[in-house]
Amino acid sequence: MKKDFTLISIKFESFAIDEKILCDPFAFRSGISVIAFSYVLFFIYGKLWEMGVSSVLIPMELVDDGQESSNNDNEIEVTNSQLICGLPDDISLMCLARVPRKYHSVLKCVSKKWRDLICSEGWRSYRRKQKLDETWIYALCMDKLHETFCYVLDPTSRSYWKLIDGLPPHVSIRRGMGFETLGNKLFLLGGFGPCRDATDEVYSYNASLNCWVEAASMSSSRCNFACEVLDEKLYAIGGIVSNTSDHDNSWDTFDPLTNSWTSNSDPNIPKIPPDIEDSVVIDGKIYVRCGRYPTTPNDYGVVYEPSSGTWQYADADMVSGWNGPAVVVDGNLFVLDKNLGSRLMMWHKERREWMPVGKLSPLLTKSPCKLVAVGKSIFVVGKGLSTVVLDVSNFGTTVQVMMGFSLPRVACDFNVLSCKCFSLYDLLCPVLSYPKFTFFIIAHLALQSSLMMLQINHMPGDTLPNSQYALQAVDRAIELVENAR
Amino acid sequence: MAEETESTKTEPLKTAEEEFKKLEITEEEESELKLETSDHVTFMVEASIAMKFGAVQQYLEVSPAASASATAIPLHNVASRELILILEYYRMHDWVDAGERDLKEFDERFLKDLNYEELKELLLAANYLNVEKLFNFLTKSIANIIRNKDVEFVRTFFGIDNDYTPEEEAAYREENAWAGVKFV
């Protein structure tokens, strides 16, 4: 585990397995277009980078990519043998589809027939229909040497972030890339390389094959742009575009059904400056937050409505409070406000004001953070991929219990911050065999909106069984709480 | 005096009769359906439970007379052994007083008493009868068998022949190693 990652962007992908990469429209298309940048543009860009203006953070709705089936009509080979002896294949499918995603690799090893089943369209559609598709979180991070890595986390197993290998080396040194998930694929778009030229290249990661392939190139070379998925289409908006004269007001859309990009531009729209800070999708509209540009005194945001294809200025009140990493849960915008400690704020659409949800210990969430939502849980992923999970499902009630888990970032000692009462519900049992695993128990206090945090380090070389270790952790936690009283 | 005592005696009698009638009515409301299994055993099953079976519902839609008449509804693909188990499961899950914990314990015991062959038979019966709750429970149970197991276990348990070449298998195992599932 490399230390001191800066998290660039974080996405999640709804699982649907697809291994038929050979008939995949995204694969095996290449196009290289290298266009030099003007020095001035690059200077602004480099400055922005130094200031830590990283690329995008966009939550993605669980995308139903059922229409993709037309691309993957290869049926399972019909063989005489049954999947499970004594059961019709359709019933076997219903049984096997309930096996969690992390065991699918085991299923694939069993036999060719089982592998074909797991890679079939029937398997995907059944899992989606039965709401069995599991969501994994993907994070794009960068180390001190500006090398990019991609990590994955299975939120259900509560284990640890795993490195995804195989990112092409020339891509891993790029910066200002777009990062988005569409269907069961992860996309890395554009960016600029060490020669300071923006690129239009797109790489996609296939979750089931665990491999990166080059995908259809964007219409224009872009970096530091907003990247969103809306209505099964990928949008690359604004940023620094190098091959159009009117680079401020253009956006590209990618349709996976046709596997092609289309370029759009509109000189009459509100100006989308090159310094895009963040973007989200709320109620079928793309909101892009733009930073302070020399010509504008304040932050402002623009909204794109795909039905009419028009851009407008966003609600200024909303944009004013949107000053940190954001995520959308059930159509509500949540922002981690770093100005007054780490406060989680929610934009109340009817009242048109920002409401505080809860306060987080700044020790838990090391900046820069990115947010991603899976269901009603917000994952705050900070420096070193330290992860805190917040449950906002019963937002509005007085007591919230928030659970977090984290990977060690740096060797530092956390203390109990404040403590009034202790409510320990379901103790998480993560994979404690992981060396130096750090385990947090966080309780949101009902009376004061402060957080108590406990940390118990799992020392390398500990050979305690997991349950015993977890019990010890609880004992230690209670002891600490008693002492603090 | 004698008349008075008579009248007081008849009154409770009347109420008892009324109560009996009431009971009859409630019994009529909770009518029973006759189900015949593949091995020609007839079961009298409460309509409230029998109507949970998709196959019975369908049968009654086609021939509504069957509910009133004494003709048994044939269940061609369900043996009496399975039907007993299915009824046991549904009676427990229909029981109003059953708490979540009771049901969990019951489910665990229910599974424990079944071997793999019986589990499959029951799954097929549940599929035929179209009983969603039990079917989902059984498919999940089969899926749970695979949790935390290695490939060899899955192969021997489900009786599947390995048709991979050693090279192919090695490649898939490598992928497995990435996914973090340990092989014993």
Cβ–Cβ < 8 Å for A214, A201: yes
> Cβ contacts (< 8 Å) between B181 and chain A: which residues?
102-103, 105-106
CA dihedral angle for residue A240, residue A245, residue A250, residue A253, rounded to 10 degrees: -90
Higher pLDDT, B156 or A50: B156
pLDDT (0 to 100) of residue A482: 53
Give the residue carrying structure tokens 């203390």: A415
A353-to-A345, A388, A398, B163 alpha-carbon distances in Å: 10, 26, 20, 62
Residue of A343, A377, A338 whose CA lies nearest to A153: A377
Instruction: Tell whether A86 lies on the interface with B, counting CB pairs under 8 A.
Output: yes
What percent of chain B is predicted at pLDDT more than 90?
A: 1
pLDDT tens digits for A26-57?
322 222 222 222 233 333 333 333 333 333 23
What is the set of domains in chain B, with CATH numbers? 32-152 (3.30.710.10)
Cβ–Cβ < 8 Å for A190, A200: yes
Interface of B with A in 19-78 (CB under 8 A): none
CA distance A25 to A28: 8
Judged by CB atoms closer than 8 Å, whether chains meet at B176 and A110 is answered as no
B27-to-B13, B22, B51, B96, B132 alpha-carbon distances in Å: 21, 8, 16, 18, 27
pLDDT tens digits for B77-104?
888 888 888 888 888 887 777 778 888 8
Instruction: Tell whether B182 lies on the interface with A, counting CB pairs under 8 A.
Output: no
> Cβ contacts (< 8 Å) between B163 and chain A: which residues?
111-113
| CATH for A135-423, options being 3.30.70.141, 1.20.1440.230, 2.120.10.80, 3.20.20.140 | 2.120.10.80
Judged by CB atoms closer than 8 Å, whether chains meet at B159 and A85 is answered as yes
pLDDT (0 to 100) of residue A400: 46
> Torsions phi, psi of B43, nearest 5?
-120, 140
Residue of B119, B133, B163, B173 best to disrupt the A interface, most CBs of A under 10 A: B163
Domain boundaries, chain A: 85-132, 135-423
pTM for the full model?
0.61
Strand, coil or helix: A334: strand
CA distance A377 to A54: 24
Instruction: Tell whether B130 lies on the interface with A, counting CB pairs under 8 A.
Output: no
pLDDT (0 to 100) of residue A254: 92
Strand, coil or helix: B82: helix
Distance from the Cα of B126 to chain A's closest Cα (Å) equals 11
Tokens standing for residue A255: 């349709």
Distance from the Cα of B91 to chain A's closest Cα (Å) equals 24
pLDDT (0 to 100) of residue A412: 27
pLDDT (0 to 100) of residue A74: 40
Those residues of chain A that have pLDDT short of 50 are 1-6, 13-79, 397-471, 485
Residue of A84, A89, A110 best to disrupt the B interface, most CBs of B under 10 A: A110
Nearest to B143 among A98, A105, A115 (CB): A98
pLDDT tens digits for B129-140?
888 888 989 998
pLDDT tens digits for A146-189?
778 887 777 766 566 777 778 888 888 888 888 888 777 788 88
CA distance A256 to A252: 13
> Torsions phi, psi of B139, nearest 5?
-65, -40
Cβ–Cβ < 8 Å for A404, A455: no
Distance from the Cα of A92 to chain B's closest Cα (Å) equals 8
CA distance A370 to A372: 7
Distance from the Cα of A357 to chain B's closest Cα (Å) equals 33
> Cβ contacts (< 8 Å) between B140 and chain A: which residues?
98
Cβ–Cβ < 8 Å for A279, A288: yes
pLDDT (0 to 100) of residue A274: 65
Instruction: Tell whether B117 lies on the interface with A, counting CB pairs under 8 A.
Output: yes
> Cβ contacts (< 8 Å) between B151 and chain A: which residues?
106, 109-110
Instruction: Tell whether A129 lies on the interface with B, counting CB pairs under 8 A.
Output: no
Cβ–Cβ < 8 Å for B57, B51: yes
Could you give the angle at the alpha carbon of A189 between the alpha carbons of A144 and A283, nearest 5°? 110
- Give the chain B residue nearest A81 (alpha carbons): B160
pLDDT (0 to 100) of residue A402: 47
Nearest to A98 among B139, B155, B178 (CB): B139
Interface of A with B in 87-116 (CB under 8 A): 87-88, 91, 94-100, 102-115
